[in-house]
Structure 1
Amino acid sequence: MALRDSDPAEVGGYRIEDRLGSGGMGVVYLARSASGRRLAVKVVHGQYADDDEFRTRFRREVAAARQVSGAFTAPVVDADADGPSPWMATLYIPGEDLGTYVRRHGPLPPGRLRDLAAGLAEALRDIHRAGVVHRDLKPANVMLADDGPRVIDFGISRAAEAAGMDALTQTGRVMGTPPFMSPEQFTSPHEVGPATDIFSLGAVLVYAATRRGPFDSPNPWETATRVVEGAPELAGVPDDLLPFVRLCLEKHPKSRPGPDELLHLLREGRLPHPRPEPAPPETEPAPPETEPAPRRRRWWPAAVAATAVLAAVAATTTVLARAGGSEPHRLPAGWHAWHRRAVDPTAENPNTAGPSGPFSRCVLADKALLCAGDGIMAARFSLADGRNVWTRPMDPTPAESTTSGGGTIIGTRPGAVYVYGADDHDIKTGGEDAESRTTHTVQALDPDTGKQLWRTVVSTVTDGVGPETVGAVATPAGVVTAIGDGSDSYALLDAANGKVRWRHRLPESIGDTSGDCLLSGAGGQPYLTCRHMDEDTDRTRTTFTRLDPATGHGRWTVTVKGAQYLFGQVRGHLVLGADPLMDKLTGFTLVDASSHVLTTVRLSTPRNASGAHLVRGTVYLTLTSGSVRAIDPLTGRELWQSNSTVEQPGPPTASAGRLYLASPTGRLAALDLRTGKVTGALPGRDDGDNSGSGLTASAPVLSGDALYVPYGMRAVYSADVHGL
């Protein structure tokens, strides 16, 4: 776009080269720094520059926007809120915006759609973590760069909206773009939160898949009405993304998942049907003078859509409400605080040892809590009242000479949960002696009923050690698991029927020593990690191989020095490091998941820990004393150290603002993610026979504002995090 005579030659010392576009808030220029770096510089129109309140709010929003630095956003590099014309410079992203691309080339193919969904979900996660809500996510604000989508244009519009609210109203302007706005942006614009961006994400994906929005109408009035009350038009959206899109387009903000949940759904292939809109609590009826909600919702489209006829499109942002602010209270319908212990399905068998510790893992599936461990293959608890709907033992008929081992949940998919099973069988070997063999299986269970959908034998051994020592990973195609009587191979079990689709031997140089190779997942992909010992030098090296779920072959492999483990993935980088329980953690090895380039990050002080956990982009080192250290794996910088007061903490769970740690006895602490300060706690419980208090607890599970804490012996309790 050619420059005009009125355009400046430079802004903030950056030489202007071209005009990229213009809108209601200002003009965007292509500029170049002294070092040759290309930037996109947005200069605000003069009518806002003359408003002191605007400048104050703009300065605040620039500070917030600087915090957004994810892999799928355009970072802010410079800004000036005090110049003659306020401006902000972001990194220039070459390429077309999504709207232009779709208009020129048509809808995106399914593979690119899924990549777009993942990229935008990760971008929103980073934006929301920075305390910002975009509020104008639309195709024009999504750049299609070579290495993935980038979200642009946030950080200005909130300031403009607040400064000129009266003027905007008088000229008939609303903030946002009606086809991609959420219902609450029309009905209650002052209560808009991060869920509004999720709704816009769903609308953007529909446009990318079909070249039209889900609520397109001939005029803005009808569009606004459809957004608030109408059903979305989803014809043409690929079947595998339909559940994802429907969840995003739920009318009620509380019914939409957050970015982390969306990423988990994409990675695990768990795309459930939309959740029902939460019903208002029966104990808190609306006051008599309050107009019923259905009538109120029908009134708003007419009033607000009228102003949308002259809508001026602008990117919008707002600061997230922090803990104790105006965020909606989200609890499962009918929820109340509860504690339950799973029924022991083999209690009548005198040869079966009783429970001795807490569950090893709990997950959310099919609107319920599923837990496993200590002889329990899986048990279902109701989220609302804790009712133990069903329990399946690891071994329903244990042998006389052995006891059932611990259960493990591998993962979930819509309509199924993947678990390990183990059946002991006594075999006479001569005389009166009996030898016990254990048949290890991977099973798919119906989360609603506990019914076995399929069962696949993966090994039969005499020492009781099964393939769970090597591990398994749930993928959309099925379960990648160790297999063979010596766990010497790995295979894919089909998601639909459990049949072996492919099978490969583990690297022969490893031998059959359990633990030398591990299967693990990161970024939604399966990896094979193997340790190799050089007999001449006694030095260890570790290989990390990205597996292709379709064939089982390695797509690429990297080799690092020493014994290292895969902690997870952060912003497109695998995070590798030593086990701090065995060796001091001196730093991390970062592997770019796209280029496979290795980078070493050093810690200022080597650390030992009883546990190391990567949660929401931060590594948390825990000690049995309750001490916790938070470390940024991308820089090695220690963010904070705190005493949680939780003895023998298990893996932590995090929300957007707090970290939750629990002990085997059920003691709970909530820590501020930014400072590590303990902001809430609950004492341990003595109602579940805590003889297993010397063991490690599993991670608490968060569903909205309800936290589920495994403790004691096969027990769980639930608490409202707002009460901590």
Structure 2
Amino acid sequence: MSPQRNTGAGAEAELPEYAGHYRLRECLGSGGMGVVHLAHSTSGMKVAVKVVHARFALDPEFRGRFRQEVAAARRVSGAFTAPVVDADPEAERPWMATLFIPGSTLAEHVKRNGPMRSGELRRLMAGLAEALRDIHRVGVVHRDLKPSNVLLAEDGPKVIDFGISRPKDSELRTETGKLIGTPPFMAPEQFRRPREVGPAADVFALGSVMVHAATGRGPFDSDSPYVVAYQVVHDEPDLTGVPDNLAPLVSRCLAKEPEGRPTPDELMRELRSVAASYDTQSFIPAQRSLWGGETDPAGTGDAAGPPVSAAPGASDASAAPDASAAPVAPAAPVVPVAPDEPSGAESERVDEEAVRETDKRPGRWARVRSGLRGRRGRVAFTAGALVVVLAGGALGVTRLLGHDDAGRGVRGGAAGSHSASPAFSPWSTRPAKAGKGAGAAGTGGMPLCASAAKRLLCAQSGLVSALDADDGRVLWRHALADGDRPSEAPVLAGGLALVVTHSGRLVEALDPASGATRWQQDLSGYGSLRAVGDTLLLTAADKTVTGVSATTGEKIWSRLIPGLNEPYFTTFPGDPLAYAASVSDDGHTRITAVDPATGKVRWKARLGGALRLVGTTAGSAVLLSQGDAYGTVDAVVRYDPADGAARRVPLGITLQEAQAAVHGDRVYLLAFDGTLAAVDTAAGQQVWSLQTAVSRGSAPASDGGHVYFSAADGRLLAVDADDGRLLGQTTLRLGAHSDRVVATLPAPAAVGGRVYAGAPDGTVFAVDGRDPAGW
């Protein structure tokens, strides 16, 4: 194959065919330092390769800067940047390869679509604040944050191009009189004292980027870079067109002096307050169509986790609480309804007509009875000022299939308290069929599933389906309006399967036996929704919490709950209560346990330190101690409301961005870097840890004998719960788009001796949980 040619004259007109062993396919763009190519590795993985301009390759200073760029990019490689795959700064033409992430830059998006809407702006600002937090915590200052260096990926913004970034411990110095950066997005100190530029300069640039995203121009605007430089140093920014609820925060970012600007953590705290006034959806770290008219190219439809929380410095979490109450008896189990099941074709016809019926009168309750059309209930209560946010709890994908026996207080044998049917055989099914609910490559994206008796209820892009848990057969499919993507796995409550979509801000209650719609509700007036038992909890802008019957969709109660500063609830399988937890500015964590049937507070506590609630067991709450404001976990805390005792169990090593599963007295934590650890809260010690080498894995799940988790390449892994040995793993299930990264993976679950999981190739599969070595 002859080398590809670029336009123009000189050395850059003839592009190399390879950079290392990466074959260059096409030019993606060119900048001041080099050309970025789309390339393929030997195995076919897509990467973006930056090859430096030939004229710079002979410049020793440039090579030094390129080595610095590679080092900086490797330091911060993670969820908010394009991970570095390979690099050779010493090659004849130095190059660096990063994972290829589809998506336009912010500059391209604004040029093509115009200014962003307020909800998109807040999501962008939250994502950039998280990115800067990760960049700064490893000691790197980007120094050139601008719209062309912000990639709008499907799972949130990515900060790219560390060409002039500088680690704090770098020996490379800026030459006297030389300014480096892009004037409209440079901080005043970059013009006045460039050698003293620190993290606050990136926050200033973030403010400028936000003005560009909101208006299509910068806060300091001129055709002359010299005029812009003067304005940056001396003039006030022009924030005309920036939404009123974001303008004060953007203005603080653009303070002339570095000490007057908020830190990324303070930005995230402030954005939570902004979210409470109009839009909390973006604090779900989930894949979604973030950027207006753009859609999810991978059709992953993933969602996850609790709202972002910037925690103050932790103190001793064993501090005595200020209140407690007796534990609560379990509620009666939910009994699913089971009407006569129609054929698959009839189910799909019912679904499509229900969608059409809903579209006629948006924003109202729509009660659709089996076999009937057009019969509606009246609005039971009015909407407030918020849209729905689903974070953790019963609607969280960290419990993909929901029934991992968390909170039962018993550790079972190899397969827990269940045993698999002797006739069971492993199976794999792709629920989405071509042309119906299919995303990229016709897969429908990553399935998000929940178990319901002998069925799995799975949500994908444009589709909800039911599978036979024994053999994986598709029992029915339910089309969503306009190919909408559910934000979470279906949740079984009140005998119905509840599905919440992204663009429609809609909760739809489906009959799990037939897929027929029983009722619908527009959620655009509510800030959070949680389902537990037979009740939905909806929170409005004024912090009023309303209990709604999951069976009928009718209001049961509505009230302000005393002492509930942040009414975002979390729920856990097998626990009849809903929990709200928040960290105060003085470094304490307040927990409020609420009875969803009545809205009454069952117990509350105030604990020392910044804590994150991750589960319950035997009436006790299990929390993770945040060692710093960056998500570092240094201990597990078990709090018993019956006697007010809080027991802190330190970890052997700190874990970054750990996800957790609670099974009896054991807590299993999987960190961002693949470290898996087990803590025994009764014995008060960490019992083992294992480096799995699986970065960005799913939340773990356990049946008592094993710990299971999924990798981004579709593998399901099993570890011995007693000693931490890796026992087995399934094959890869990457699908056609193996170059795309799934930001958040749904957790697997062990049910009845079987383990169910979803994969990026759009499949749902089941394996025998008793024999991981045979996978």
Q: TM-score, normalised by structure 2?
A: 0.41
Greater strand content: 1
Structure possessing the higher relative contact order (Cα contacts under 8 Å, 6 or more residues apart) = 2
Which structure would you say has the larger Rg? 1
